[in-house]
Amino acid sequence: MGIGYSDLDIYKLAHELAIEVHKMTLQELPKFEIYEEGQQVRRSSKSVVMNIVEGFHRRRYKNEFIQFLIYSVASCNETIEHLNILFSTNSLRDEKIYKELREKYVELSKKITKFIQAVENKHLKPKSIVRVLLFLLLSSTIYHPPSSNPAFLDYGWGVRPEGMGGAFTSVADDVNTIFYNPAGLANLSSKEVNLMYTKPWVGLDGIDISFMHGAFSYPLDKYGNFGIGITQYDVNGIYLENTATICYGYDLARLLKFDRKILAGINLKYLGWSVKWDEEIKRQDDPVVKAGNSKSSFGVDFGLYSEPVGGLKIGLLGRNLNSPDVGLYYENKVPQEYRFGLAYNFGDLGRFEDFTTAFDISHRGQEYSEESKLQYFFGIESWINFHTFGFRVGYNKTDITTGLSYCPRIKQGTIRLKIDYALLISSVYTESMGSHKISFGIEF
């Protein structure tokens, strides 16, 4: 296994010092300071560690790596100043403890600065993410240091959409649309059920992450369409994210008496996460741990879809419009995301049926990474043999994708089975053998 963040000397020292500071604030400070200056120095000392970890996770991008290391130095110096204030105000009376901690943080600041110079001279290549993923998720979601809020990301729930690189906002013509654009639900004329399961990044040692979802749509004829979606994101059985979505889509052209589709849709979502604290963490007198091990909130999505001319399709999505707070102890709002999609169906090209190209662009209002706020997605799809076999390829910032479908009709064509497969080759987690996604569905 390649180098991990826990192999870095700066991480080891920062981690040990954060624990020392944590214990010092609970054992050496007067009670009134535990949640005053004591809380501030605990947060800054932990921020030193968190920024090293998050920077290491982003080391593929040199500028981001250096940026987080600079944050770590800043948090290091902030911790030194908190220690100075505690000693100067006699809240920390033990001079020996004060001097030892201060000297160690001065030394740590120098070491991180030297490490930054090394990164600038020779940018490190990503070799292993196994030991980073869980730590990053827990530290960012639960403790929520400044500049991070990665909870409830778009993990790519649909198999068919992910085979197209995730470009589905303006395609939106099966039950997967619940997760990509609720307006597309009004495109469906049949009931549909879909179940998906995947384990991403196959081949990475020690990693056990899984995604799964279930989706159901039910047409209400002239009253629009109704849908339900559930998802689960599981990291080693320790951290879980769950969502439950009620979706409704309607064709506004019926009210406006247009001859072209103008669909609108809304999602009402339950968002919940939980973590299993180990016994060592439970024994620590940490206010975050005392706050519990789970949090839930509610989110709202809104989407639009139109087919203005010929084979052109346009989709718009606003996700998490109310910025639900999922922070356990500190505030941690799920960022708003806005997505725009264009697709064009060229019709039949020889043996290829409904040859479609699609492009999406999205902006997520997160704080932790300027570079990853803006994302783009591109995909191509076509079918043969009366939509029995489907083929697709796609591309986005993190993956090259391909997908296949087998959708036979049974019962004189009244029931259609759907088996979808997608392979995602990561350009970030290059040690893996890709993410393999499969779903089973039925349209009736």
Q: What is the CATH classification number for the domain harbouring 100?
A: 1.20.1440.60
365, 428: one domain: yes
pLDDT tens string, the chain, 444 residues long: the values are: 345 677 788 998 999 999 999 999 999 998 888 888 888 999 999 999 999 988 887 776 777 888 889 989 999 999 999 999 999 999 999 999 999 999 999 999 988 988 887 777 654 444 434 444 454 455 555 554 444 445 677 778 899 999 999 999 999 999 999 999 999 999 999 999 999 999 888 877 666 788 899 999 999 988 999 999 999 998 878 888 999 999 999 999 988 888 889 999 999 999 999 888 767 667 666 676 777 889 999 999 999 999 999 999 999 999 999 999 988 777 788 889 999 999 999 999 999 999 999 999 999 886 555 556 789 999 999 999 999 999 999 999 889 999 999 999 998 878 999 999 999 998 877 777 889 999 999 999
Inside any domain, residue 153: no
Q: How far does CA 123 lie from the centroid of its chain?
A: 26
CA–CA–CA angle 275, 277, 280 (5° rounding): 165
Inside any domain, residue 147: no
Inside any domain, residue 301: yes
11 C-beta neighbours (distance < 10 Å), count: 20
Distances (CA, A) of 93 to 25, 32, 139, 155: 12, 15, 31, 50
Phi, psi of 22 (to 5 degrees): -60, -50
Whether the model clears a pTM of 0.75, i.e. scores above it, the answer is no
369 C-beta neighbours (distance < 10 Å), count: 17
The half-sphere exposure of 119 on its side-chain side, counting CA atoms within 13 A, is 25
Beta strands in 288-388, from DSSP E residues, in sequence order:
294-306, 312-319, 337-345, 353-364, 374-384
282, 358: one domain: yes
269, 203: one domain: yes
Q: Are the beta carbons of 277 and 307 closer than 8 angstroms?
A: no
Q: Buried (b) or exposed (e) across 402-422, using 16+ Cβ within 10 A?
A: bbbbebeeeeeeeebebebbb
Q: Are the beta carbons of 65 and 56 closer than 8 angstroms?
A: yes
192, 331: one domain: yes
User: Cβ contacts of residue 118 below 8 Å, gap of 6+?
Assistant: none
User: Cβ contacts of residue 346 below 8 Å, gap of 6+?
Assistant: 311, 355, 356, 357
86, 199: one domain: no
> What tokens were used for 413?
């064509």
Q: Are the beta carbons of 8 and 56 closer than 8 angstroms?
A: yes
Q: How many domains does the chain have?
A: 2
269, 338: one domain: yes
Report the C-alpha gap between 259 and 255 in whole angstroms.
Answer: 11
190, 284: one domain: yes
Inside any domain, residue 348: yes
Domain with 37 in it = 5-128
Q: Are the beta carbons of 18 and 139 closer than 8 angstroms?
A: no
